[in-house]
Structure 1
């Protein structure tokens, strides 16, 4: 952990999302986005992307629903309940479900890639939303095989997926925004 003008920072290590037999590139794992960290009221570690991550955005952003995107993007859902689906092709997709009433955010990567060695299934954050926070309900970052999701309550889920090359199509609530990200 490092200290910064934003407070304590943490970098995570995202392990390979495939069985070891699928590690064909000679390496396995990547560093996460840098995160500002703090302790929640329940003494659990909370995090959010460091504010300078916003400088990776290109353009002024647009409504996310129906957008065609490349391999690096951010999707922001400001508030509420809804589902973001990134359609990689007719058979592969990633789903991120926000359920404000239940207080959960769920990532479904069951159909996020056809690689039989890739890890799939559900990931869920509980107590995911903080109505009093100025942070959006969810910030979803996709960078090739990396997916990182941050919630308004400081919960974070990170995973690896192995979709086909873009373009990809986004299905999202009407209030969601999309930005391509610089490499």
Structure 2
């Protein structure tokens, strides 16, 4: 949820409630990532939290968000060679939801690049790093890297946001990525969620 250094962590001021169906819902204030003006923060998406049968914390975006979907695009399954990337020309936009299922196999890193400008000068990398050792004892890591996200002078540089994510060797990586202009929220396997602001300047 918030794994960055304390002074530049991405989230603060959490609020939680239990709704009339018994769900525990949480929402956060997302830090701007620019020079503060005192009024320009933004709220995260509402999240549903629950305990799994093994007493681990689980989290997911509330299903009510699915009512905001329209003009969906489906990309056929494809195999991507190591150390290569595949541009998805039909997938674009600054306010989109991406649902992706990735089978990492033996890969040490898999991921997606989002909010990519046409020339690639601005881009944000979402990655999963598999554990280099026994995955049952050493979880992998989910990461959002905004080091190349913006050419704007007033956007503060910061280390990548990382959070532990344990998945089995034969388990697929299920990502739900929500992008709304500058804000990026990544949910993974109902086990992890990371949020960052990108501050992108490109409009295409």
**Alignment TM-score > 0.5, same fold:** yes
Aligned to 1:88: 117
Task: Decide whether the 8 Å contact of 1:104 with 1:129 is kept in 2.
Answer: no
Task: Give aligned pairs, total.
Answer: 162
Greater share of strand: 1
Aligned to 1:12: 28
* C-alpha deviation, 1:128, in angstroms: 4.7
Aligned to 2:41: 29
The 5-angstrom pairing of residues 1-183 of structure 1 reads 1-4=16-19, 5=21, 7-20=23-36, 23=37, 27-39=39-51, 45-63=57-75, 65-81=88-104, 82-86=110-114, 87-90=116-119, 91-101=121-131, 103-120=140-157, 121-129=159-167, 137-167=174-204
Q: Which has the higher contact order (CA 8 A, sep 6+)?
A: 1
Using the TM superposition, name which of 117-126 and 91-100 deviates more. 117-126
* C-alpha deviation, 1:34, in angstroms: 0.7
Please list every run of 5 or more consecutive structure 1 residues that lacks an aligned counterpart in the other structure: 168-183
Which protein is bigger by CA-based radius of gyration? 2
Q: Quote the Cα distance in structure 2 between the aligned partners of 1:130 and 1:47.
A: 18
Task: Decide whether the 8 Å contact of 1:89 with 1:164 is kept in 2.
Answer: no
Please list every run of 5 or more consecutive structure 2 residues that lacks an aligned counterpart in the other structure: 1-15, 76-86, 105-109, 133-139
Q: CA RMSD in A?
A: 2.9
Q: Quote the Cα distance in structure 1 between the aligned partners of 2:25 and 2:31.
A: 20
